[in-house]
Amino acid sequence: MRNGLALVLALLMFVYASINAAALQESSMECWFVFSLMASSALALSLLTLRPATSIALVSALVMALQYAAVAKFEQLHDPLLITDLLYFSSFGIFDTLSHYPDIVLIVKYVVPALLVVFGLLLYADIRLWKSRRKPVRRVLQLSGFVLASILVVTIDSARGPFASVVDKSLWSSLSDASHLANFFVSIPNSGIELPTFPGAPGAADSWPMAAADSRMPERKPDIFMVLEESTFDPRTLTMCAIDECRLPGFF
């Protein structure tokens, strides 16, 4: 009885997150993209933990948290929430900054403890997958299922997957639409940096106009709006720069 109630509660949380987060994207394709990521992530986590109700509820809660954070950032800064934002804020005094926002303080004070209680009850009442199986068989099913489900998650959030038209969206488009969750998930595979290929001749790095002229124009132009040389320029690329200032640790 309690196993069924736990699963029903988790599914209700999943439906709530689907309606109030996944379904709020601008296009139907983006809605299905976010929903597919939610479902496949819940499946992967369920196979990893063997606790389906707890896993479904956890994915739903994380999606709603991302939706709230994405909307808050877009309303305050008019910028989309990107995966790099999480990496950036994790290294600074983010908790001190968030403490100045009353809405966030209320969430931490009341919603977080309530969710901890809910997850504790779900974990207690949750069904355990393949409990009757022998341990070696259960481990094989657990690991193989998790690997396959993880491959499904990566495929969905890939430019070669079924939602390639969504994942291939440019950053410029992300700055001007309200598909907050889709923009966040799209930023994950697009967060890598691809450097252009320069001639390998000695001293070529000293003549940037020549190197740029000899380079082929990429098929897809990078989303570069501004380059702040005081923070990104590396003087070590200039072979003629032999003074000590070119080797200061502050440059790298």
Q: pLDDT tens for residues 84-97?
A: 777 766 655 666 76
**CB of 36 within 8 A of CB of 27?**
no
Reduced to 3 states (helix: H, G, I; strand: E, B; else coil), residue 105 is helix
109 pLDDT above the threshold of 60: yes
pTM for the whole structure: 0.70
Give 209-251 as a DSSP string: HHHHHHSPPPSS--------HHHH--GGG-TT--SGGGG-GGG
Residue-wise pLDDT tens digits, 11-52: 999 999 999 999 999 889 999 999 999 999 999 999 988 888
Amino acid identity at 86: L
Residue 6 CA to residue 75 CA, distance in Å, equals 35
Residue 115 · residue 61 · CB < 8 Å: yes
| Under 8 Å between Cβ of 48 and 146 | yes
